[in-house]
Amino acid sequence: MRYPPAPRGGTPSAGRRDTNRAALEIQGGEGESGMLRFLGYVAIGALAGTFSGFFGIGGGIVAIPLLVMACAFPQKLAQGTSAFMILPTVVAVGFRYFRAGNADPSAAIALALGAIPLAYFSADLAQKVPELILRRGFALLLVAVAAQLWLTAPSRS
């Protein structure tokens, strides 16, 4: 299910218009093609939700690569779309972990106080970074996290 991205403009405002046009084109058209895209997005969301609930992640670590690779989203569009998907997902997951006694609301509030302003400014900065740099940076983040988890896993003696 691969969809070509929209062409890019030469000016900053043209770039925003082109990204918005790409978003509209990617959202699907009418009829069967639009329904297939919608179902593809639902499938990506289901996969992201499964990993989100099971591993306590926001889901973007799954959704962003799939939106880029399977749906041909530009990196920035995938990141922005994922950010909107994550909010209701993490609320649902956080509530379930809290009900099970596996969430610390005080720590979560303190973490949010540190994360929200920096996330806002980082998202602004991401708009100025070339797509290729963002994609490679995201890939490096995934590799670094995977390596850290693998190397610090407790031994099974």
Q: Could you list the mean pLDDT of each consecutive 10-residue stretch along the chain, which spans 157 residues?
A: 44 48 52 87 94 87 94 95 90 92 95 94 95 94 91 72
The sign one gets for the Cα dihedral 55, 61, 66, 71 is: positive
Give the per-residue pLDDT at 25: 53
Domain spans, the chain: 12-151
The answer to whether the CB of 74 falls within 8 A of the CB of 126 is: no
The answer to whether the CB of 75 falls within 8 A of the CB of 135 is: yes
Contacts of 82 (CB under 8 A, 6+ apart): 48, 59, 60, 63, 64, 67
Give the per-residue pLDDT at 157: 54
Give the per-residue pLDDT at 11: 42
Give the per-residue pLDDT at 5: 47
Give the per-residue pLDDT at 48: 92
Residue in this structure with the two tokens 């649902």, named with its chain if needed: 92
Give the per-residue pLDDT at 34: 86
**How far is Cα 95 from Cα 102, in angstroms, rounded to an integer?**
10
The answer to whether the CB of 73 falls within 8 A of the CB of 40 is: no
**How far is Cα 48 from Cα 72, in angstroms, rounded to an integer?**
17
Give the per-residue pLDDT at 14: 47
**How far is Cα 77 from Cα 74, in angstroms, rounded to an integer?**
5
Q: Nearest to residue 16, comparing CAs of 73, 90, 76?
A: 76
Give the per-residue pLDDT at 129: 95
